[in-house]
Structure 1
Amino acid sequence: MEFNAMQQTLRPILERLVSLDRAALTLTRLGLVTVTLWIGGLKVIPYEAEGITPFVANSPVMRWLYADPDGYRAHRNAEGVLHEVNRAWHATNGTYPAALLIGATIVAIGILIALHWVSPVLGVLGGVALFAMSLVTLSFLVTTPESFVPALGGEHHGFPYLSGVGRLVLKDAIMMGASLVVAVDSARVTLARQTVTPSAAHT
């Protein structure tokens, strides 16, 4: 009885939340567009290109982008630090062109998602592409050693103790779900626009 009474009390709030479904989808879509355009655009900056080297170098899907994927550990630059020798190595390694390719791909996905408001079928493509990209990103938890706290004397290291890198990657689980939500919504809008009423079919 108490549970039913609570449900009745909450009903106006629940109904209000349900009425926000379109606003929630718009907010989700705008969030994905913002993240992809911003993060993808930053790939033109050297520090960001250098920062993704552990992921690319250790990924069986992406390591071919580098000339010397195994050499990144000796040439990593901390964010904000300019080390000319390391910068020269990254130039030889192909770090910057690889980041440009990755960044352009991410930006293109963001643009496709944003184009939902022009052509929902393009929004479908963007959502599906971001879902696939998120799967690849989540695979870094398995392929990138830096995803977990190293054994440097502390008692907590290895699985399941995520490092800062690992925590960053794990958040893509949210992006994966959100990308599928907007892809499904774009597909629904596309199908609704393709529906022909009997009266329209005979005009």
Structure 2
Amino acid sequence: MQPIFSLATTPPKAAIPDHTALLRWSLVVVFLWFGAMKFTLYEAQGIAPFIEHSPFMSWLLSAFGVRGASGVIGALELATAVALATGAFHRGVSVLGAAMSCATYAITLTFFFTTPGVAEPTAGGFPAISAPIGQFLLKDLVLLAASAMLLRTSLAHWQAARDASPRLLPGSAHQPTSA
């Protein structure tokens, strides 16, 4: 029995249906919007606490300041949007864009554990997710799942195309010769 979800699982070599267009274009819109917003003071100040406490991104503040760090992140998000959009027409770029999207949401989900105020203890001991910070971050779990699904499909299409293309070995009879 094949697992329900695995990045390593490759569908049969028959035509692979692609039902990910809605995911792709939704992610493009999200990355375009969020990426463009990173160039505003409002957004830069809003994400500063996340960056400040991140072991992966805190260096951006000392290197570029709040506005510069936000701009770097915005440029990466806009590049991800371009890769995702271009990926609709090119298999290799589709894999790259989906991988960039996965990396983005994997990193932002680490803010759940590094940003103060994400979870608040309750009387029962189970942490409640705070409204302004934790619930804002929780959406990235769904966006990561959408990105992973797009990556899985992109990898399957890329692999199927590689498997379908003939391989020419050096010196084979099918190799073009020079005159």
- Aligned partners of 2:129 and 2:135 also within 8 Å: no
Sort the Cα spacing of 1:103 and 1:155 in 2 relative to 1 into closer, same or farther, 3 A.
same
Shift of residue 196, structure 1, vs aligned partner: 2.9
Q: Compute the RMSD of aligned alpha carbons.
A: 2.8
Larger Rg: 1
**From 26, 36, 46, the counterpart of 2:21:** 26
CA distance in structure 2 between the aligned counterparts of 1:171 and 1:157, rounded to whole angstroms: 23
Which residue of structure 2 lines up, in the alignment, with residue 133 of structure 1?
Answer: 104
Shift of residue 158, structure 1, vs aligned partner: 8.5
CA distance in structure 1 between the aligned counterparts of 2:105 and 2:87, rounded to whole angstroms: 19
The residue identity in structure 1 corresponding to 2:23 is T
Sort the Cα spacing of 1:67 and 1:196 in 2 relative to 1 into closer, same or farther, 3 A.
closer
**Higher helix proportion (structure 1 or 2):** 1
Alignment of 1:1-203 (within 5 A): 22=18, 24-67=19-62, 94-149=65-120, 159-194=127-162, 195-196=164-165
Q: Structure 1 stretches (4+) deviating beyond 3 angstroms? A: 154-158
Sort the Cα spacing of 1:156 and 1:45 in 2 relative to 1 into closer, same or farther, 3 A.
farther
Q: How many residues align?
A: 153
| Residues 4-52 of structure 1 deviation map (CA, whole Å, 9 limit, x = unaligned) | xxxxxxxxxxxxxxxxx64x41111111111011101110111001100
The residue identity in structure 2 corresponding to 1:58 is H
The residue identity in structure 2 corresponding to 1:130 is S
SS at match of 2:133: helix
TM-score by length of 1: 0.66
Which residue of structure 1 lines up, in the alignment, with residue 12 of structure 2?
Answer: none
TM-score by length of 2: 0.75
Unaligned runs of 5+ in 2: 1-16, 168-172, 175-179
CA distance in structure 2 between the aligned counterparts of 1:46 and 1:38, rounded to whole angstroms: 15
